[in-house]
Amino acid sequence: MTTENLEKAVAKKNLKLVDDLLASIGFGGIQPMGIANIMLEDVRQEEERLRKEEQERAVLEEHQEIEAKPANNDKKHSENGINVQGIDSMLVRLSHCCSPIPGDKIMGYVTKGRGVSVHREDCPNIKAAGKNGMPLIDVSWNTIPDPRKYYDAELEVEGYNRNGLINDILQAINNSAKSLSSINGRVDHNKQAVVTATVGIKNSEHLQRVVDKIKQIPDVYVVKRVIH
């Protein structure tokens, strides 16, 4: 208990003197726990700052990953928002290599035992499938999207590895996306950070808003979608 903390508590309670505060506590007008919370506010803020620094260090220096349980994309076409031409009932899988979202131009092909694999048209894997003689299938997004449905989109962010960069990216995503499934990163010898994040997105317009939000962060150079 320091004089500075006591004076802070006096000010927050709109009192004039420390003695007034102590008298109010003694007569039961002010709860001691409330004063304790005020006096420990700086300690909690410092602990939160250290926690964020440790999280950022783990992501960028030790290559640890913050990850939630991934969504299961192996669903029927009606649940994935995909229409498959000429096929009424077949398993439809949104590919993880390019993670298509509504608004993307898409194509599909039939895989052995795994139904129809749906890719973005610019995905190298869909182009390779066509070159290898696998029949491509016309697929499209439902004209009436499910407003409750979100899709995973993987973004790559490049920027200068300053203190707080990861936290700024996390805040931008949390303020503009539905969810954050995972985030990880690395730093090269030139102190350039590369951060990848998987976020919950409704459609391509929503994705653009998220990208624009991240681009507004100081020291961020590039934000782009990932294709594996």
Q: Tens digit of pLDDT for each residue in 98-122?
A: 999 999 999 998 887 778 899 999 9
Radius of gyration of the chain (CA): 25
pTM: 0.68
Q: Tens digit of pLDDT for each residue in 54-102?
A: 766 666 665 555 554 444 444 444 457 888 876 666 788 899 999 999 9
Answer whether 148's CB lies under 8 Å from 178's CB: no
Taking the domains of the chain in order of start, what are their residue ranges?
A: 3-56, 64-69+150-225, 74-141
What's the chain's average pLDDT? 80
The CATH number of the structural domain formed by 64-69+150-225 is: 3.30.70.260
Q: Is residue 9 predicted with pLDDT exceeding 70?
A: no
Strand extents, DSSP E, 64-130: 66-67, 74-76, 82-84, 91-94, 106-111, 115-120
Burial 209-219 (b: 16+ CB within 10 A, else e): ebbebbeebee
The region of weakest confidence among 139-148, 156-165, 169-178 is 139-148
Answer whether 117's CB lies under 8 Å from 181's CB: no
Separation between Cα atoms, residue 151 and residue 79, nearest integer Å: 11
**pLDDT higher at 140 or 188:** 140
Separation between Cα atoms, residue 143 and residue 136, nearest integer Å: 21
The region of weakest confidence among 24-28, 145-149, 224-228 is 24-28
